[in-house]
Structure 1
Amino acid sequence: MKFVLNDELIEDNTLPSDFSALRYLREKRGLTGTKEGCGSGDCGACTLLVGALEEGELKYSTFNSCITPVQSLDGKHVVSVEYLSDADKLHPAQQAMVEHHGSQCGFCTPGIILSLASLYENSQASDKTIDRESVCDAISGNLCRCTGYRPIIDAGLSMQNLPAEEPTPWSNLADNTESVKAKLASLQGEAKAANNYFQPQTLAELLTIKADHKDATLVAGGTDLMLENTQRFRDFGVLIDVSQINELTKIEDNGTQLTIGASVTYSELEQFSKTRYPHLYHLLERIASRQIRNRGTIGGNVANASPIADMPPILLAFDADIQIVNLDGSQRTVSIHDFYQGYKQTVLTEGEVIASFTMELATLADFHRFYKVSKRMEDDISSVMLATRFAVTDGKISDLRLAFGGMAATPIRAKKAEAALLNSDVNDEQALSNALAILKDELTPLSDMRASARYRSDMACNLVRKAWLELNGHSIPTFSGHPVSDASLGYELTSNTSQSAQQGGASHA
Structure 2
Amino acid sequence: MMEVVTRPIRVRNAVRFLFRGGEVVLDRFSPRATVLDWLREEMRAKGTKEGCAEGDCGACTVVLARLKAGALAYEPFNACILLLGQLDGAELITIEDLAKGRELHPLQRAMVDHHASQCGFCTPGIVMSLFAAYHSGAPQTYSALCDQLAGNLCRCTGYRPIIAAALETCNGAAGDRFAATAGSRAVALAALADREDVFVGDEAAFFAAPASPDSLAALYARFPDATLVAGATDVGLWITKQLRDLKRIIWLGRVAGLDGVRPIADNAVSLGATLTLEDAAPLLGAIHSDLGELLRRFGSKQVRASGTVGGNIANGSPIGDLAPALIALGSRVVLRKGTEIRALPLEDFFIAYGKQDRDPGEFVAAVETPRLAAHQHYRAFKVSKRLDEDISAVMLAVRVDVDGRRILGARIGCGGMAATPKRAANAEQALIGVSLDKQVSWRAACAALSQDFAPLTDQRASAAYRMTVAANLLEKALLEISGASTPTRIGMLHAAE
**% identity of equivalent residues:** 37
The answer for unaligned runs of 5 or more in structure 2 is 1-14
Q: In the aligned structure 1, how far is the partner of 2:17 from the partner of 2:232?
A: 19
SS of the residue corresponding to residue 311 of structure 2 reads: helix
Q: Name the counterpart of 1:428.
A: 438
Q: In the aligned structure 2, how far is the partner of 1:365 from the partner of 1:141?
A: 38
Cα displacement string for residues 137-165 of structure 1 (whole angstroms, at most 9, x for unaligned residues): 11110011222111112121111469x9x
Q: Name the counterpart of 2:185.
A: 180
Q: Name the counterpart of 1:189.
A: 194
Between 216-225 and 110-119, report the one with greater CA deviation.
216-225
Structure 1 residue 204 displacement after superposition = 0.7
Q: In the aligned structure 2, how far is the partner of 1:122 from the partner of 1:365?
A: 38
Structure 1 residue 238 displacement after superposition = 2.1
TM-score w.r.t. length of structure 1: 0.88
Q: In the aligned structure 2, how far is the partner of 1:415 from the partner of 1:390?
A: 13
Q: Name the counterpart of 1:267.
A: 278
Aligned residues: 473
Determine if contact 2:62/2:93 at 8 Å carries over to the other structure.
yes
User: Deviation above 6 Å: which 4+ runs of structure 1?
Assistant: none
Q: In the aligned structure 2, how far is the partner of 1:451 from the partner of 1:141?
A: 23
SS of the residue corresponding to residue 49 of structure 1 reads: strand
The answer for unaligned runs of 5 or more in structure 1 is 486-492, 494-509
Q: Cα distance 1:193–1:334, how it changes in 2: closer, same or farther (>3 A)?
A: closer
Alignment-mate amino acid for residue 182 of structure 2: T
1:211-360 to 2 correspondences below 5 Å:
211-254=221-264, 256-327=267-338, 329-360=339-370
Choose from 17, 25, 41 the match for 1:3: 17
CA RMSD across the alignment: 2.2
Cα displacement string for residues 48-71 of structure 1 (whole angstroms, at most 9, x for unaligned residues): 100001233111101100001111
Alignment-mate amino acid for residue 214 of structure 2: A
TM-score w.r.t. length of structure 2: 0.90
SS of the residue corresponding to residue 36 of structure 2 reads: helix
Q: Name the counterpart of 1:409.
A: 419
Q: Cα distance 1:342–1:150, how it changes in 2: closer, same or farther (>3 A)?
A: same
Determine if contact 1:90/1:171 at 8 Å carries over to the other structure.
no
Q: In the aligned structure 2, how far is the partner of 1:190 from the partner of 1:263?
A: 17
SS of the residue corresponding to residue 246 of structure 1 reads: coil
Structure 1 residue 366 displacement after superposition = 2.1
Alignment-mate amino acid for residue 454 of structure 1: A
Cα displacement string for residues 299-321 of structure 1 (whole angstroms, at most 9, x for unaligned residues): 11111111111011012101211
Q: Name the counterpart of 2:4.
A: none
Structure 1 residue 267 displacement after superposition = 0.4
Determine if contact 2:290/2:381 at 8 Å carries over to the other structure.
no
Q: Cα distance 1:74–1:394, how it changes in 2: closer, same or farther (>3 A)?
A: same
Q: Name the counterpart of 1:153.
A: 163
Cα displacement string for residues 6-38 of structure 1 (whole angstroms, at most 9, x for unaligned residues): 322211111111100000111111111000111
Q: Cα distance 1:52–1:254, how it changes in 2: closer, same or farther (>3 A)?
A: same
1:85-124 to 2 correspondences below 5 Å:
85-123=99-137
Alignment-mate amino acid for residue 200 of structure 2: A
Q: Name the counterpart of 2:5.
A: none
Q: Name the counterpart of 1:204.
A: 214
Alignment-mate amino acid for residue 372 of structure 1: K
Q: Name the counterpart of 1:382.
A: 392
Alignment-mate amino acid for residue 194 of structure 1: V
Q: Name the counterpart of 1:34.
A: 48
Q: Cα distance 1:420–1:161, how it changes in 2: closer, same or farther (>3 A)?
A: closer
Determine if contact 1:266/1:296 at 8 Å carries over to the other structure.
yes
Q: In the aligned structure 2, how far is the partner of 1:352 from the partner of 1:362?
A: 30
Alignment-mate amino acid for residue 199 of structure 1: A
Cα displacement string for residues 448-474 of structure 1 (whole angstroms, at most 9, x for unaligned residues): 100111111111111111101100113
Q: Name the counterpart of 2:139.
A: 129
Cα displacement string for residues 218-252 of structure 1 (whole angstroms, at most 9, x for unaligned residues): 11111101211111111111211113323321111
Determine if contact 2:221/2:337 at 8 Å carries over to the other structure.
no
Determine if contact 2:393/2:466 at 8 Å carries over to the other structure.
yes
Choose from 373, 381, 387 the match for 2:383: 373
Q: In the aligned structure 1, how far is the partner of 2:218 from the partner of 2:423?
A: 38
Q: In the aligned structure 1, how far is the partner of 2:484 from the partner of 2:143?
A: 26
Determine if contact 1:6/1:80 at 8 Å carries over to the other structure.
no
Cα displacement string for residues 80-118 of structure 1 (whole angstroms, at most 9, x for unaligned residues): 001111123222221221121111110000000000010
Q: In the aligned structure 2, how far is the partner of 1:364 from the partner of 1:216?
A: 44
SS of the residue corresponding to residue 135 of structure 2 reads: helix
